[in-house]
């Protein structure tokens, strides 16, 4: 059982399988989710699929994307009964979804922004608009560490998370459609 992230899974899982290990792999990372020999698990939503997988020798059981899991916990019964033709989901990602390096980057950015205006924050007479201007200037300065996200996330939002699939969609958006449909191997549902 692992929740170390996709890079760990990509490195360790194939080596274990190549060594002859036939145990159950239970993972939270997305690296194996769409493999044909893996089942995305969300009991009680797809318990029947999990049971059939265990009976047929499936060894890789992967937790679903957080947005997809929440969507299916709320709408799974309607999907199973064929009462949903399509749905849309929005995801507002946390830095923690990228792992420890991403979280450190955001926290470091907040530290640097705070340091930029520390004197003003300690002065009750300092104009808040001037503080805001200095923070914004620091965010735009190119001086903040952006190695993980590519842009400053602290005090801001970025409209794109995960990798670009080259079709106007991010991998995070793609997961909603692909994983929702893989849960049951049913008819295609547009997400």
* CATH number for the domain harbouring residue 75: 3.40.50.720
Task: Give the pLDDT mean for 75-88.
Answer: 86
One domain for residues 99 and 26: no
Domain that holds residue 129: 94-160
Q: What is the Cα–Cα distance from 174 to 190, expressed in whole angstroms?
A: 11
One domain for residues 52 and 31: yes
Q: Which residue, among 101, 103, 121, 112, has the nearest Cα to 140 in the 3D structure?
A: 112
Q: Exposed (0-12), middle (13-18) or buried (19+): which is 24, by Cβ within 10 Å?
A: exposed
One domain for residues 12 and 83: yes
One domain for residues 119 and 75: no
pTM of the predicted structure, to 2 decimals? 0.66
Residue 191 lies in a domain: no
Number of domains in the chain: 2
One domain for residues 81 and 112: no
Query: Quick one: pLDDT band at residue 189, thresholds 50, 70, 90?
Result: low
Q: What is the Cα–Cα distance from 59 to 51, expressed in whole angstroms?
A: 12
Tens digits of residue pLDDT in 36-80: 999 999 988 899 999 999 999 999 999 998 888 988 899 888 988
For residue 4, pLDDT beyond 80: no
One domain for residues 14 and 87: yes
% of the chain exceeding 70 in pLDDT:
92
One domain for residues 42 and 114: no
Residue 187 lies in a domain: no
Q: What is the Cα–Cα distance from 103 to 3, expressed in whole angstroms?
A: 16
Q: Which residue, among 158, 86, 27, has the nearest Cα to 12 in the 3D structure?
A: 27
Tens digits of residue pLDDT in 127-162: 999 999 999 999 999 999 999 988 898 887 776 677
Residue 81 lies in a domain: yes
Q: What pLDDT is recorded for position 145? A: 96
One domain for residues 176 and 82: yes
* Integer angstrom CA distances of residue 99 from 4, 5, 6, 64, 66: 9, 7, 10, 17, 14
One domain for residues 10 and 81: yes
SS3 168: coil
One domain for residues 10 and 86: yes
% of the chain exceeding 90 in pLDDT:
50
One domain for residues 11 and 87: yes
Return the half-sphere exposure (C-beta side, CA atoms, 13 A cut-off) of residue 140: 6
Q: What is the Cα–Cα distance from 187 to 80, expressed in whole angstroms?
A: 10
Residue 149 lies in a domain: yes
């Amino acid at each position: 059982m692992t929740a170390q992230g996709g890079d760990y899974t990509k490195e360790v899982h194939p080596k274990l399988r190549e060594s002859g290990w036939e145990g159950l792999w239970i993972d939270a990372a997305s690296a194996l989710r769409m493999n044909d020999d893996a089942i995305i698990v969300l009991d009680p939503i797809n318990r029947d699929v999990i049971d059939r997988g265990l009976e047929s020798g499936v060894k890789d059981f992967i937790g679903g994307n957080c947005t997809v899991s929440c969507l299916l916990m709320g709408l799974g019964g309607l999907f199973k009964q064929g009462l949903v033709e399509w749905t849309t989901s929005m995801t507002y990602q946390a830095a923690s979804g990228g792992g420890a390096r991403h979280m450190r980057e955001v926290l470091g950015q907040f530290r640097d922004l705070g340091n930029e205006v520390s004197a003003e924050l300690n002065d009750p007479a300092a104009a808040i608009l001037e503080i805001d201007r200095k923070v914004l200037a620091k965010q735009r300065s190119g001086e903040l560490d952006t190695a993980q996200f590519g842009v400053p996330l602290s005090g801001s939002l970025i409209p794109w998370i995960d990798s670009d699939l080259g079709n106007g969609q991010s991998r995070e958006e793609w997961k909603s459609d692909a994983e929702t449909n893989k849960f049951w191997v049913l008819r295609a549902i547009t997400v």
